[in-house]
């Protein structure tokens, strides 16, 4: 557990620069997976570091950053819905304008979309725990960021993995049935 404490405003800027260099890439990856939009993820990460600049001390830097970023995402849920609708319209326009790629590209895109749907189908706590673990947060950091007891993180992750597999397999089965019905 690291602890950030500041003396002067100059020290604060130096420490936030160090935090940024150390954690920005992982935080943006986590947020990109969480939001599905890298630009938005970078904006949320930037706001997270701005808020770190305002802090006089932070007990556990990585857990604090991930918790603040998660809360910022929750606070901006309405903006998320508007952006997703906009992105869906843009994607639809692009699909209409594009020449269809080769079969393997389509299959890969379908698999990725199905995996994203399976992740999105998870309960928020399960989804966040999996994404944080994927970014390398340890059980104590995940517990702190999600306000869980450290002992329950393993159970949460295990349950989340099981539900992810079940969700993915159900989506895959549904797709296979649709393809089978379309072929008949």
Higher pLDDT, 177 or 98: 177
Whole-angstrom Cα distance, residue 32 to residue 23?
Answer: 14
* pLDDT tens digits, 46-87: 999 999 988 888 889 999 999 999 999 888 766 767 767 888
* pLDDT tens digits, 148-170: 999 999 999 999 999 999 999 99
126 neighbors 159 (Cβ within 8 angstroms): yes
With H, G, I as helix, E, B as strand and everything else as coil, classify residue 4.
Answer: strand
Beta strands in the chain (DSSP E): 4-5, 57-58
The pLDDT of residue 177: 87
Residue 130, C-beta contacts closer than 8 angstroms, at least 6 positions apart: 119, 122, 157, 160, 161, 164
The pLDDT of residue 102: 62
pLDDT confidence of 2, banded at 50, 70, 90? Answer: very low
Number of helical H runs and strand E runs in the chain:
8, 2
The pLDDT of residue 80: 61
The pLDDT of residue 6: 47
* Structural tokens at position 39: 């630009």
Whole-angstrom Cα distance, residue 119 to residue 97?
Answer: 29
Among 26, 22, 44, which Cα is nearest to 35's? 44
* Structural tokens at position 184: 């008949």
Whole-angstrom Cα distance, residue 10 to residue 124?
Answer: 38
- The sign of the dihedral angle between the CA atoms of 141, 142, 145, 147 is negative
pTM score, whole prediction: 0.60
38 neighbors 13 (Cβ within 8 angstroms): no
Whole-angstrom Cα distance, residue 131 to residue 34?
Answer: 7
* pLDDT tens digits, 80-109: 677 678 888 888 887 766 655 566 777 888
The pLDDT of residue 11: 63
- Across the strands, what pairs with 58? 4
Among 139, 130, 137, which Cα is nearest to 168's? 130
């Amino acid at each position: 557990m690291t602890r950030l404490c500041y003396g002067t405003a100059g020290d604060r800027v130096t420490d936030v620069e160090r935090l940024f260099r150390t954690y920005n890439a992982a935080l943006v990856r986590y947020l990109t997976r969480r939001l599905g939009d890298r630009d938005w993820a970078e904006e949320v990460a930037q706001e997270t570091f701005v808020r770190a600049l305002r802090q006089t001390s932070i007990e556990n830097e990585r857990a604090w950053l991930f918790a603040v970023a998660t809360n910022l995402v929750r606070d901006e849920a309405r903006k998320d819905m508007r952006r997703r609708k906009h992105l869906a319209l843009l994607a639809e326009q692009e699909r209409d304008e594009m020449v269809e790629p080769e079969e393997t590209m389509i299959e890969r895109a379908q698999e990725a979309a199905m995996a994203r749907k399976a992740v999105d189908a998870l309960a928020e706590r399960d989804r966040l725990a999996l994404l944080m673990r994927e970014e390398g947060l340890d059980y104590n950091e995940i517990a702190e960021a999600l306000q869980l007891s450290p002992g329950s993180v393993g159970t949460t992750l295990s349950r989340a993995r099981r539900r992810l597999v079940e969700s993915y397999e159900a989506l895959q089965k549904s797709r296979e049935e649709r393809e089978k019905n379309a072929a008949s």
